Amino acid sequence: MRKTLILCTVLLFLVGCAGQMLQGRAYNTLTGNTLSFAIEKSYGHGTMTAFNPKNNEAFKGEYSGFYKGQNTIYGNIGGDNVTLIQPPTGANANGILVGDKGTTIRVFFEIKPGLRPTGYGIGQDQAGNKYDFYF
């Protein structure tokens, strides 16, 4: 009963963390213009937003991420079957931001998991402008 209660508490905590927006910035490497940026904390798929204050363009988009460095080892110790799980060491993600004035930015992220995930990425719009993302 105690193990079930602890497990339920942990699961409720984890579910409550999904959907939270993590704030960051995107820098246009050609002009130095800074966009506000936010990415949803999720478990593989989420939303993103950005805003360019120079031209008041608002962006909405989504991303999908894939864990890396995760591993499972099966064995037998003293006649008991055991399973050891190595948590992921990070994630790679691809996404797109679509602006309300026609700009589209493709993004690629490297994400470090944790209670407050952090990450960085690169992006490029259809005009060839490049962006560095940090959150």
Task: Tell me the per-residue pLDDT of 7-16, one tens digit each, with 9 for 90 and over.
Answer: 444 444 444 4
82-110 pLDDT per residue, tens: 898 988 899 999 999 999 999 999 999 99
- Number of domains observed in the structure of the chain: 1
CA dist., res. 96 & res. 121, Å (int): 12
* Full domain range(s) for residue 94: 19-134
- Structure-token match 């120079």, residue found: 54
pLDDT given for residue 26 in this prediction? 98
Residue 10: inside a domain: no
Residue 8: inside a domain: no
CA dist., res. 89 & res. 114, Å (int): 10
Q: Is the dihedral of CA 29, 30, 35, 41 positive or negative?
A: negative
- Rg, the chain, Cα only: 19
Q: Is the dihedral of CA 94, 92, 30, 97 positive or negative?
A: positive
Residue 84: inside a domain: yes
Residue 70: inside a domain: yes
Query: What is the reported pTM?
Result: 0.77
Residue 11: inside a domain: no
Q: Is the dihedral of CA 126, 52, 28, 110 positive or negative?
A: negative
pLDDT given for residue 18 in this prediction? 64
pLDDT given for residue 9 in this prediction? 42
Rounded to 5°, the CA angle 65-113-116 comes to 115
